[in-house]
Structure 1
Amino acid sequence: MRTFDGVYAAGAWHPGRGNRIEVTSPGTGGVLGYVSEATSEEVGQAVDAARAALHGDWASYSPPDRAAALGRLADALEARKNDFAELFSAEVGTPRRASSFVHIISAVGALRAYEKIGADYAFDEVRPSMVGGEVHVRGLPVGVVGAILPWNAPLFTACLKLAPALAAGCTIVLKPAPDAPLAVSLFSEVIEQADLPAGVVNIVSGHAATGEALVTHPGVDKISFTGSTAVGARIGALCANDIRRCSLELGGKSAAILLDDVVLDDKTINGLVGGVMGNNGQVCLSRSRILAPRSRYNDVIAALGDAVGALVVGDPSDRATDVGPLINAAARDRVERYVTQAVDEGACVVVGGSRPENLDTGWYVAPTVLANVDNGMAVAREELFGPVVVVIPYEDDNDAVALANDSDYGLGGGVWSPDTARATRIAEQLRVGAVSINSAPSMDCGAPFGGFKKSGLGREGGPEGLTEYLEFQSIIS
C-alpha cells in the first residue's frame, strides 16, 4: 500500500485538503494506494514553487549543469528499476516481463537522450545579419511547464516531457492521470536522490478539475499534454484563450502495410502482434489496422489468428503472461462494444472477441483478430485502446497508401517487405509522424515524435523536442 498525501512542491510533500483518490489494480480490483486530489489552491502552490525555482537556483545552472542533472535522474531511476516495474505491473496491468522496458528502460532512455542533446544544443548563436552586422539568436526557457500525463505509460511520458523541459532551463509541474498516479508520485523520491533544486519538478494529482486548474493557471507558460484527442481539443482551446503555448500528443489509428512480397515468418508475425498487443493494446502507436494484399489475405489472417490465439492472458505479475487487463471496467466495456458493432456490420471474429474464461476478476478482454473489415467501419476508424487488430484487404500499393492515409489520425505507421527500398518509398507517402520498417512500433528519443492531423501538435524527442520548450530572442547589432 502506497499513500501520497497532498502535493509535492518545492521538494517536499505538503498535506492536502482535496478528496482522497483510491487507486486499484486492474487485474484484481484490490486497493494499491491513495493520492490526494489537488485543489486549485494547491495547484497554485506547485506552480508558485516552479516559478520560484525558475528564477532561483535553477537559473544559475548552465546547459552542461542541467544535462548532468538529467544524468543523475537517470542513474537514480535505473537503480530502482525493479521497484517501479513491479508497481507498474500492478497499477497499469502491464505484464511483468515487459514492464521494465515499457515503463522504466524507456524513461531512462529519454533522460539519457536529453542529457546528451541538452549538453550539445546551441542555445546561443551569432549569425550574419541580412542587412549588415550581426544577429545574436538566444534560445530562452519558455518558463513554467504544466505536463498532463496519460495512465498507460505515465513515467515514460513524464520523462519525455520533463527531460527536454529541464534541458531547456524550464521548471515543471507533473499531473498524472487518476487511474495511475502512484508511480509518478513515487518518482518524487528519485527527484530527491538526484539532488535537483527544490521546485524544479513538482507533482499534483487529481481528475479533470485539477488538470483544468493547471492549464488555466496564469503562472503556467506552456502545457504539454498526452492523451485523447477530445481532451486535447479542450486543452488547446483553453490555451488559445490565453495565448498560452501548448503541445498535444493525441490519439492514433495507425496502419501496418504488408506489401505483397512480405515473408510471413516468425519475425514478421511476432512484430505485427507485438505492435498491437503490447501493453495490452493500450499504446497510442499501436498498429491496430493491418493492411494485407488481397492475394495473400487468407494467409495473413491464418498466421495472425494462430499467433494471437496462442497468447497467454492473465495475471500481469506472472512472467508467463503476454496480455494483461485493461485499465478499468469502462475501457473493457468500450472495447467490447466496438467488437460487437463490427460483427453486426459484417466483420468476422478470427480469434478472441469475448472475455477470457477463468478470469472472473479484473478487466480482461481476449486478444482479438477481426477479418472482413472495411476501412469505413468504426472499429477501423476510432482508437479502441485494447487488444484488437483489424485486417483490411487492399488491391495494390496505391490502394494501400490511400487506405492508410484515410484516417482522421496521423501518428504512426509501419511497412513490411524484404525490399527495404520499396518499403521506404511507401513509408514516405504516409501522412504520419513516425513509420517503422519491418519492426514493431518504436520510438527513438533522439528523433522527433508526434502526429499529423488529429494526432496532435508539436513534437517530442530529439532536438526538435527541446525546441518546443524554448522562446527565441534576436539581438540585432
Structure 2
Amino acid sequence: MSEINSLPHFSLFIDGEFTKGVKGHKILSTNPASGKSWASFSGASEEDVNQSIVAARRALNDKSWTDINATGRGKLMMILADLIEDHAQVLGEIETNDSGKLIAETVTQTSYVADYYRYYAGLADKIEGSTLPIDKPDMHVFTTREPIGVVAAIVPWNAQMFLTATKLAPALAAGCTIIIKASEIAPCALLEFAKLVKKAGFPNGVVSVITGDAENCAIPLTSHPDIDRIAFTGGSETARHVIRNSAENFAVTTLELGGKSPILVFEDADLEGAANGLIAGNFGASGQSCVAGSRGIVHRSIMERLMEKIEEKSQSILVGDPLKEETHVGPLCTEAQISLIENTLASAKSQGANIRFGGSRPNNFHDGYYFQPTLVECLDHSAVTLQVEMFGPIMSIVPFDTEDQAIAMANDSPYGLGSGVFTNNVARAHRVSKKIKAGICWINSYRAISPIAPFGGYNQSGYAREAGLDAIHDYTRTKTTWINMSEKPMANPFVMR
C-alpha cells in the first residue's frame, strides 16, 4: 500500500471534476521499459460510469452547451488544439512511461493530433442540411442534422491520443457529449489530457474520461440505455462483446479493429524505398500498430536482395530506452505480447520458416518487455506468422511469381485495414490497389495519416471510417421537416399524401 501511495496518481474526470471514484479503487500502471510500477490511476466502478452518463445526458440538453452555436464550438476546439500542442511534451512523456512507445513518436504524434481538432473545428459550422425538390405540391421539405447524442468512445492504449481525436473531435464539432473510456492497460495520458479539456472551457459533463476493467466499466458503459452511439477501436474479440452489449440500447456502433496488412513489392520497385516501407510498417512503433504491414509479399526475383537490404539496414536499429530520442525500437506494452510472439515464431519454425535475424529477447535487457526486430522468411502464405496479429516488431516475407498471385495472397486474410504497394509502374499501382480488399492503400509509402483522409477497414478490420469529411456525419442524425404551404386545410386523414 505504501508503494501505491508514493507514486504519481491520475484521477478519473467526470462532470468537470477530477475524482478517485465512488469506491476509491486504485490500479498500478507498469512501465514496460522497466517492468515496474511507475504510477497509479483510479479505476471506475459502475456507479462512476452511471455518473458520467447522467452528466453527459444533462449537458447534451443544457443551455451551457446548446447555447454555444456551431461557430462557438469550433472556437472552443481551437483552444483545445492549442493546449494539446503546448502540452505535447508532457503528454508524450506520460504516454511513453505508461505504454513504452517511443518519446520521439508520442510527442510528435500528440503535437500533430492538434490538427485533427483544428480540422473538425473548421467543419463545426459547415454541417449542412438541404432543401428537397419534393414531389408533393404545396409542400416545403428540408433536412437538418442534429447531434446524435451521448457518445461512448472506447480507445486502446497503442495510439490513444490519435484514436481519441478521431472520435472526440467530430463528436464535439457535431454538438454531442462524450464519455472516453481509456484502456486500463495504459490510460494515464488520457487522464492527463482531461486537464486540457477542463482548461479549454468546455461545460461540465460535455466530456468525461474514465477507465477500468470490463465488468465495472466497459460493460456498464456500452450497454447503458442512455448511450446513443459507440465508437470502438480495439480487438475483434472485444468488439464482439461491444456489439452484444449494444443490443441492450441499440446504440449506433462503429468498429475500427485490427489487421494483418499486406505490403506488395513488385520486381520494378525501388528497393531502398521498399525496404524502408517494410521497416516502417513492421518495426515502426515497435510493430504495435493496427496497420502494421506484417505480411511482406515480394516478387521472387528480388526477394533475396530485398531481405539482404532490410537486414543491412536493421543492423543500425537501436533497441532501448523509449525516453531516449536516439532509440528506434522500444519495449512492447505487455509481457503477454512477448509470449504470443515467442509461441508464434516457434510454430513458424516448425513449418519450415527461416528466422533471418532477431527472433528472441535482447540479451542486454534484464528488465522490461523488449523483443528484437525480427525477419521471418516464409515458404508460402500458410506460415503462421502471416496469419497471427502479434503486435510486435516481426516482419514476415513470402515470395510471389505473378501479379494475380500477389493480389490473391493480399486478399487471403479475414482482415482488411491497411495495405501497401511498391512499384514504379503507375498503371500497375492503380490496377493492384483497386483489387486489394483493404480500406487504406499506400503506394510507394506506408503508415501516413492525416485528419483529411478517412481511416478504416473491411471485413474483420471493422466498418468505421474515422477522420475525413464524412466522419462528422456519423455523429449526427438527419431530421426531415415537412411544411404544408397550402392555404387549404389538410384533406382526407385516411389517405397518405
* TM-score of the superposed pair, with normalisation by structure 1: 0.96
Local SS of the residue matching 1:335? helix
1:52 to 2:58 alignment? yes
The structure-2 alpha-carbon separation of the partners of 1:307 and 1:445, relative to structure 1 and needing over 3 Å to count, comes to: same
* Residue of structure 2 aligned with 1:99, choices 70, 85, 106: 106
CA contact (8 A) 1:308 1:368 kept: no
Q: CA deviation at 1:135?
A: 2.4
> In the alignment, what sits opposite 1:127?
132
CA contact (8 A) 1:458 1:468 kept: no
AA partner of residue 292 (structure 1): V
Superposed counterparts of 1:230-249, under 5 Å: 230-249=237-256
Equivalences for residues 63-462 of structure 1 within 5 A: 63-102=70-109, 104-122=110-128, 124-132=129-137, 133-209=139-215, 210-265=217-272, 267-462=273-468
Shift of 1:272: 2.0
* CA displacement at 1:290 relative to structure 2: 0.9
Equivalent position amino acid for 1:136 in 2: F
User: 1:278, 1:116 → 2: CA distance?
Assistant: 31
Secondary structure of 1:136's aligned partner: strand
Q: Deviations over 1:96-145 (max 9, x none)?
A: 2222223x0342122122122223332x2212114454421111111000
The answer for the alignment partner of 1:466 in structure 2 is 472
Letter in 2 for 1:196: F
Cα distance in 2, alignment partners of residues 68 and 464 from structure 1 = 21
Counterparts of 1:81 and 1:408, CA distance in 2: 36
Superimposed CA distance per residue, residues 318-354 of structure 1 (whole angstroms, 9 cap, x where no aligned partner): 2111000000111111111111111111110011001
When structure 1 is superposed on structure 2, of 59-68 and 124-133 the one drifting more is 124-133
Q: How far does the alpha carbon of each residue in 1:402-425 deviate from its partner, in whole angstroms, 9 at most, with x for none?
A: 110111001010111122342122
Moved more, 411-420 or 72-81: 411-420
Percent identity reads 33
Are the equivalent residues in 1 in contact too, given 2:256–2:463 (CA < 8 A)? Answer: yes
Distance 1:31 1:358 in 2: 21
- What displacement does 1:161 show? 0.6
AA at the equivalent of 1:127: L
Q: Partner amino acid for 2:196?
A: V
Output the CA distance in 2 between the equivalents of 1:432 and 1:118. Answer: 29
Distance 1:71 1:113 in 2: 9
Worse-matched range after superposition: 216-225 or 307-316: 307-316
Deviation at 1:61, TM superposition (A): 2.0
**Which residue of structure 1 aligns with residue 20 of structure 2?**
15
- Tell me the distance in 1 between the aligned counterparts of 2:136 and 2:436: 41
Distance 1:250 1:165 in 2: 20
Q: CA deviation at 1:58?
A: 1.3
8 Å CA contact retained: 1:373, 1:390: no
What is the one-letter code of the residue matched to 2:100? G
SS in 2 for 1:457: coil
Change (3 A) 1:241 1:59: same
| Distance in 1 separating the partners of 2:353 and 2:33 | 29
Post-superposition CA distance 1:344-370 (Å, at most 9, x none): 111100110011120110001100010
Higher deviation after alignment, 300-309 or 52-61: 300-309
Contact 1:269 1:303 in 2 (8 A): yes
Q: Structure 2 regions of 5+ residues with no counterpart?
A: 1-6, 484-497
- Cα RMSD of the aligned pairs, angstroms, is 1.4
CA drift of 1:18 comes to: 4.7
Inter-partner Cα distance in structure 2 for 1:378 and 1:462: 35
Segment drifting more, 449-458 vs 87-96: 87-96
Name the SS for the 1:290 alignment partner: strand
1:34 Cα deviation after fit: 1.1
SS of 1:152's partner is: coil
CA distance in 2 between partners of 1:330 and 1:317 (Å): 22
| Superposition deviation, residue 186 in structure 1 | 0.3
Tell me if structure 2 keeps the 8 A contact 1:253–1:410. yes
Distance 1:20 1:165 in 2: 30
Question: Per-residue displacement from partner, 1:207-248 (whole Å, max 9, x unpaired)?
Answer: 112111110111111111100011011111221343221111
Distance 1:232 1:373, change over 3 A: farther
Contact kept in structure 1, 2:146 and 2:174, CA below 8 Å: yes
Q: SS of 1:349's equivalent?
A: strand
Alpha-carbon distance in structure 2 between the residues aligned to 1:106 and 1:284: 19
Bigger CA radius of gyration: 2
- Within 2, Cα distance between the matches of 1:142 and 1:388? 41
- Say whether the 8 Å CA contact 1:381–1:407 is kept in structure 2: yes
Q: Which amino acid aligns with 1:128?
A: P
Distance 2:91 2:283 in 1: 22
- Give the unaligned 5+ runs of structure 1: none
Distance 1:264 1:330 in 2: 34
Alpha-carbon distance in 2 for matches of 1:242, 1:121:
26
